[in-house]
Amino acid sequence: MIGKLKGVIDSYAEDFIILDVHGVGYVVQCSARTLQKLPRPGEAATLAIETQVREDAIRLFGFLSDAERDWFRLLQSVQGVGAKVALAILSILAPSELASAIALQDKVAVSRAQGVGPKLAARIVAELKDKAPAFGSVDPAVVRLAGEDDVKSAPKPVQDAISALVNLGYGRPQASAAVAASLKALGEAAETSALIRRGLKELAG
C-alpha cells in the first residue's frame, strides 16, 4: 500500500493531479481545497496517500496532512458516505472546521458539501460526534454552548452575547464557539459587552 508520495506535479485536472515520482506518473485524486493549495506544475509536492483497492481499479487519494487523510477514512465509516462524498466534504471544510462542525452538531455546515443532503448530514454529525475530539482540538466549552438548550442554561451574559452575534448575521455554532472562547479568556464573570467585543475579534481572526 502507498501511504505517502513525494514528487513533482506534472499536471492538473478537475479533481486529480498527476504526480511524477522518478518518472512514474501517479494519478492522485484530491479535494478541491487540497488542489487549491498545491504548487504549480513543475514544482515539488508531498502528499499523504490513501490507497483504495477495488476489483476493477486501484485508486490513490492525496492529502496535505495526515489529519485530512484520517478524516477521509473516518467519514467513510458512515453509511452512505463513499470516497466522492468524503472528498466533497473536505473540499468545503478544513479538518479543524469539520471537527468543530461535528462537535457542535452543525448539520448545515456539513450539508453544504455537494452530494450531502439534510438526512446524510444529520447521520454524519450524529455518528461521528464521539469521535470528533480525537481528530481535532475542540474546546469542551464550545461543545457545552453548542445546542439551543445548553445556551438557555448558560449565564445570562453568555446568552445575550450569543444572541447579539447571531443578530449580527453569524451562525449560532460560530457565535457559540466565539463566546465560549471569549469566556475562557475573560473568565466566568465577564460582562455581555466584553464577551461581544472579544467574540467579534475571535470571529474576525
Provide the grid cell at 51. Answer: 490507497
Residue whose grid cell is 485524486: 29
Give me the half-sphere count of Cα atoms (radius 13 Å) on the Cβ side of residue 173. 17
Domains and CATH numbers, the chain: 4-63 (2.40.50.140), 67-135 (1.10.150.20), 140-204 (no CATH)
Counting every residue, how long is the chain? 205
**DSSP-assigned letter for residue 59:** E
Looking at residue 97, its pLDDT comes to: 80
Cell 445546542 belongs to 147
Answer whether 134's CB lies under 8 Å from 96's CB: no
Task: Provide the mean pLDDT of the chain.
Answer: 86
Q: pTM here?
A: 0.67
95 against 149, higher pLDDT: 95
